[in-house]
Amino acid sequence: MSLQLFCFPPQRIIILFSGVTSLPEKCERGLDLQLTRFFFSLQELVPITETMTIPFDYHRFIIGAKGANVRQMMDEFDVNITIPPSRDESDQVVIVGTRPKVNKAIEALEQKVAEIEAENEDRVSFGSSLQGPFII
């Protein structure tokens, strides 16, 4: 027995059974498996929206000079990244795209945040090791 699934727009699915089977359960199990595979593959194509929290003070580093950093990430991961305007002082950054691409973009953003935090720690530790008085 074989089972094939065809999708035709708009919202029309044709299921083709071929061969002979004496057990209707086999057909039902085969149909369940094919439908699961079909809908799982569709999920990979449907855009999703994820929101992540990035401290407002880091946004300028994420954006980069004239938007170069954020544009490069959007091109690299084929997603849309929306950083709120500075007047909002919001920590919420929105990423839109297909699930695998959004996940990769989130990983890259988390890595960038970690780099920014490490740079901030270096600045703080360097600054705190200095003791005055200084003569210039």
As a 3-state breakdown, the chain gives helix, strand, coil percent values, each rounded to 5, of 55, 25, 25
Please give the share of the chain, as a percent, with pLDDT higher than 90.
Answer: 51
Q: Where are the beta strands (DSSP E) in the chain?
A: 2-8, 12-18, 47-53, 80-82, 92-98
Q: Residue 40: phi, psi to the nearest 5?
A: -65, -40
pLDDT of residue 121: 78
User: Each residue of 80-102: pLDDT tens digit?
Assistant: 999 999 999 999 999 999 999 99
CATH number belonging to domain 47-128: 3.30.1370.10
User: Each residue of 98-121: pLDDT tens digit?
Assistant: 999 999 999 999 999 999 999 887
Lowest mean pLDDT among 15-19, 59-63, 104-108, 112-116: 15-19
